[in-house]
Amino acid sequence: MNKSKRKLIADAFAALPDGCKYAVATEAHLEEFESTFGPIPDDFRWFLLHCGGGTIGSEWVDGIDELTQTHCKFKAECEVANGWTMDDVFVIGWDGAGNPFGIDTQTGRMLVEDHNFGGIHEMSPSFEAFLERGLLSNK
């Protein structure tokens, strides 16, 4: 994501009501998370530092405080029979139906695993496109 696009996204996110946003992360928060769970994808790392987390379109994207719980829950639910099957996906939230969604670490695509209809589906070609659609499409 280039600097001008980041500014547009940050400004649009800042304009959301406070009840739709989580607090921004500090570098120390991110480093603590990464020491346990591994690297955060670059664009999402920027988003956590400058926006925090919250409502993007119809979805809620985790802030740093929610992210630890999400990763623990996702890992635990992958280990049970008929659990989640997404591999190489950095999970950043749960959709309204309780499905995990995140960033494919190989391709950068936004994916969701659907427990009602089955399968792993593309939500967006990238986190940047996901943010654009959720924050800038009405601008």
pLDDT at site 116: 86
Please give the residue range of the domain that contains residue 131. Answer: 3-136
pLDDT in tens, 95-136: 999 999 999 999 999 999 999 888 999 999 999 999 999 999
Residue 109's region, left for phi above 0, alpha for psi from -120 to 50, else beta, is beta
pLDDT over threshold 70, residue 21: yes
pLDDT at site 138: 64
CA proximity to 14, closest of 109, 84, 6, 40? 6
Distance (Å, rounded) from C-alpha 132 to C-alpha 84?
Answer: 28
Question: Number of folded domains in the chain?
Answer: 1
Distance (Å, rounded) from C-alpha 24 to C-alpha 53?
Answer: 7
Region 11-21 average pLDDT: 95
pLDDT over threshold 90, residue 139: no
pLDDT over threshold 80, residue 56: yes
Region 27-45 average pLDDT: 97
Instruction: Kindly report the pTM of this predicted structure.
Output: 0.94
| Residue 86's pLDDT band (cuts 50, 70, 90) | very high
Contact between 23 and 54 under an 8 Å Cβ cutoff? The reply is: no
* Cα 62–Cα 63–Cα 69 angle in degrees, nearest 5: 65
CATH number of the domain to which 49 belongs: 3.40.1580.10
Distance (Å, rounded) from C-alpha 50 to C-alpha 1?
Answer: 13
